[in-house]
Amino acid sequence: MIRIRPAVIGDVSSVLGFIRELAEYEKAADQVVATEENLREDLFGVRPICEAIIGEVDGMPQGFALFFHNYSTWVGRRGIYLEDLYVRPTARGVGLGKALFQRVAQIAVERGCQRMDWMVLDWNHPAREFYKAMGAVGMDEWTMWRLKGGALERVGKSAR
């Protein structure tokens, strides 16, 4: 039996475990520097900046989705950015990923969001096909950019 529920503070270690498993799947395990402490603060602190839901199969956590609000100036409304959606390999094929995705979409609709955004690695064909089957459209004309580490610090310091 599948159950989707909001994450609670006691789920922080499971969420971090899911994040690490996802990073391993994406061939980037060495890039995870998140800790239980910062996840606890960001999910359940005084000013939470993100939310998570847990997907259970037969009462056992087997996946999660982590998301936060973004804003579209063109639409003039907020949206939801789905940072991660992950289901353990042993729980795939039972509808858990679909249930997690649908719950995030339901939350977006309940909150008056006009869209939901996320990224998928270009080589992750199973995920791309999953999202296409849900009615999602790839935004191939957009290219993501990132400023991090020393470059971020240099630019940030130059603003003084």
Active site residues: 131
Closest CA relative to residue 4, chosen from 107, 134, 81: 107
The pair phi, psi for residue 143, each rounded to 5°, is -120, 130
Pairing of strands 77-87, 116-117: parallel
Assigned token pair, 52: 């998570």
Residues pairing with 61 in the sheet = 56
Assigned token pair, 41: 């603060």
Query: Angle, nearest 10°, between helix axes 12-25 and 36-44?
Result: 110
The pair phi, psi for residue 59, each rounded to 5°, is 85, 0
Pairing of strands 60-72, 51-57: antiparallel
